[in-house]
Structure 1
Amino acid sequence: MVLQQKKPIEIVIAEKNPLLQSSLIKLFSGDDRFSVLTVASDGERFLAAAERLHFDVGVIGWEMPFLDGRGVLQALRGKADSPRIIVYTGSGNADVPRQAMALGAAGFCSKNDPPQQLLDTITSVAAGKMVFPFIDVARLAADPFAGLTPRERELLSSLAGGLTNQQMAQQLDISLNTVKFHLKNLYDKLGVSNRAQAVAFYLKGRDGR
């Protein structure tokens, strides 16, 4: 009886760091369970690959140029035949796994984990499982601001104080573009679209504590 060889798991990677790109290709090439179809350097190129290729699992960064991991997940939500996505990041933000899960990711793996952890996560996700570190959903639900970084909490407080973007940049000694970047993330996490709604959310949450 001839055993039929199992089809390898087809992967597309989105990783901005060329050195890590090479390391990942080497990691997967040494394991016949996996087949890397292509490597993208940013989120936009990953989505372009997802349009033209059919693959099983996407391994994407969270902080990427042009389109970040959040943007990739938002773009793929609700699309038929979308690949299962694993967020693979070195971000120190402990809330990233929860955000990734909420946006439809199938798994999360930290770059600080051993390489074997990534391989195990991919095989589990390809088999239909979800792989995430422990997330205290009850705590997050109880505190609407639990998912915010310290910087985002500062900005939210400054918004409530009536400061403009320029004033916040000066007060925190960061660039105007950095303020805008943090505000975008803040609005996404709170589920609001502008500063007035963010301030209303802040006041309601503060009063409810």
Structure 2
Amino acid sequence: MSDSTEIPPIDLVIADKSPLVQTALASLFGDNKRFHLVAVCADGERFMEAVDRLAFTIGVIGWDMPYLHGRGVLEALRERPDGPRLVVYSGNGSVDVPRQVMNLGGAGFCSKSEPPEKLIETVLAVSEGRMMFPFIDVHRAVDDPLAGLTAREHELLASLAGGRTNAQIAADMDISLNTVKFHLKNLYSKLTVHNRAQAVACYLNARGSEG
């Protein structure tokens, strides 16, 4: 006779841009009897397709993903009270990302720098209805996408908003064109945008909200 008090496994879907991370998480959760791994996705769009097609209670998603990033997934699910609870699992170094996740209705955040056991602990807590986040300064409750940028990135963003080209920025900052491109890539990732125009719009919106 089976134990009627046995807890059913937690239905889970994973989304991450890295095939290596996908494989590692599939192994981490797939080998654990407390979880039922429903699907593994490579980006946010595929994850949203899984939300429409499959039944699951927890999603573990990346923050920086192609096609639809973590912020976009959270925004898409805010109006769906029957949707899965989301844990963002990210290597993004911006200290502002966990706060953005919380403000957007996410249930938890775990850094990829943490040991795997921490992610397991986070997902289990979220499945029980708890919120799991690192320390967040509640006095910074306003969602400021620029809060996590370095001084160099703030300078770069201001240059973009001023209409400076990559070559002009390189000359202004006395750095190579390749270094400018490297900084831009990191900047776009932190702002979860895809191009110069979106970065400038983000900058102007944030500055406008301060006035």
d(CA) in 2 for partners of 1:19, 1:35? 20
**TM-score between the two structures when normalised by the length of structure 1:** 0.79
d(CA) in 2 for partners of 1:186, 1:14? 16
Partner of 2:46: 45
Is 1:64 aligned with 2:65?
A: yes
2:87 aligns to what SS in structure 1?
A: strand
What amino acid is the match of 1:31? N
Consecutive unaligned residues of structure 2, counting only runs of 5 or more, are: 194-199
Is 1:185 aligned with 2:191?
A: yes
**TM-score between the two structures when normalised by the length of structure 2:** 0.78
How far 1:29 moved relative to its partner? 2.3
Distance 1:66 1:142, change over 3 A: closer
1:134 aligns to what SS in structure 2?
A: coil
Consecutive unaligned residues of structure 1, counting only runs of 5 or more, are: 205-209
Matches within 5 A, 1:1-209: 2-4=2-4, 5-138=6-139, 140-141=140-141, 147-150=147-150, 151-158=152-159, 162-164=162-164, 170=170, 171=172, 173=177, 174-175=180-181, 178=184, 182=188, 185=191, 196-201=204-209, 204=211
d(CA) in 2 for partners of 1:168, 1:60? 37
Distance 1:56 1:168, change over 3 A: farther
How far 1:78 moved relative to its partner? 1.4
1:87 aligns to what SS in structure 2?
A: strand
What amino acid is the match of 1:182? Y
1:36 aligns to what SS in structure 2?
A: strand
2:8 aligns to what SS in structure 1?
A: coil
1:135 aligns to what SS in structure 2?
A: coil
How far 1:195 moved relative to its partner? 5.8
What amino acid is the match of 1:126? S
d(CA) in 2 for partners of 1:6, 1:184? 39
Distance 1:123 1:72, change over 3 A: same
How far 1:26 moved relative to its partner? 1.3
Q: Percent identity?
A: 46
How far 1:163 moved relative to its partner? 3.2
Distance 1:2 1:195, change over 3 A: closer
d(CA) in 2 for partners of 1:40, 1:159? 34
